[in-house]
Amino acid sequence: MADGTDMRFTHLGRSGLRVSRLCLGTMNFAWKTNEPDSFAIMDRAHEVGVNFFDTANVYGNARGEGLTEKIIGRWFAQGGGRRERTVLATKVYGSMGDWPNDEKLSALNIRRACDASLVRLQTDYIDLYQMHHVDRETPWDEIWEAMEVLRFQGKILYAGSSNFAGWHIAKAQESAARRHYLGLVCEQSLYNLFVRDVEREVLPAAQDYGVGIIAWSPLQGGLLGGILGKEDGPGRRFEGQRAQDTIRDKRDQVEAYEALCREIGEEPANVALAWLLTRPEVTAPIIGPRDLAQLEGSLRAVSLSSELDPETLSRLDKIFPPYKPAPEDYAW
């Protein structure tokens, strides 16, 4: 990029859409990060080449108000090519009100939720419209018809999923194929060194169907961010009893991990992000900076991903054992 940052790009799943290898998560906006700081983070993201932004209609810590989308919309409204340079992803599923059809994936809610997000985001289209969770009560023909209508209207370009099981991805893609529709181009899953369950079935399904993986919580809530080595201690998010229990239960792994990171001279958070970028199924991990410093600190991960040697990757697998694809992981 212009400032020398080594940002890289890849296709989102099997689509022709090119996105940055880091995805800017906005969950903290309007919750832990105020509007001016949110604007500064998004501006800096563009400066360093991050073009992929992820949000959701339920973000903002105020049910039904879509505060995070509104902040992004006001940022877009400043102009200067902000919207045009952004691959914008938002989500539908979560409850936005008290009425029966204010949630999940009925055709009615998909239509209403999309229109409401467009208003809040101050844009006339969404690049990637993601289902925030699987809806077991709505048939896929209804879901895909609703998405097709939105695409025909020019309101969305691509569809994605989040928190789907492998068989949900298969069912969604087979249903889309019967309709001669593109279907999912990505799946957003919990994936990090500590939580590797998706390696059993989600990653194989995604890879087979050409679905890119967007990894959320890449630092496992900060456990992979160097918490033991921080001079000021683990921080507020680890003050509660449950968090302290987690640190106690995982301490051996965290200590071994942080020792490895010290040995190779890299920040633990960047090693965790870089490891995800070495996974062939992963399009991008989601970084959720609360401030500019956290954003700047994450940028090293992109170049580091090509510097992690086989020995280091093997040592990481010993600390955080991987899963084999199903059924080999639990059968002969």
Euclidean distance between the first and final Cα of the chain, in Å? 49
Reduced 3-state DSSP string for 290-323: CCHHHHHHHCHHHHHCCCCCHHHHHHHHHHCCCC
Q: Does the active-site annotation cover 59? A: yes
User: What token pair was written down for 218?
Assistant: 């890449």
Catalytic residue among 59, 93, 129, 158: 59
The residues, any chain, with a CB within 8 Å of residue 21's CB and separated by 6 or more, are 7, 8, 9, 10, 277, 283, 284, 302, 305
Alpha-carbon distances of 230 from 4, 233, 299, 328, rounded to whole Å = 29, 5, 20, 39
Return d(Cα 228, Cα 16) in angstroms, integer.
42
Tokens 């903290």, residue? 28
Q: Are 61 and 30 spatial neighbours (Cβ–Cβ below 8 Å)?
A: yes
Return d(Cα 118, Cα 126) in angstroms, integer.
7
Residues with a catalytic annotation lie at 59
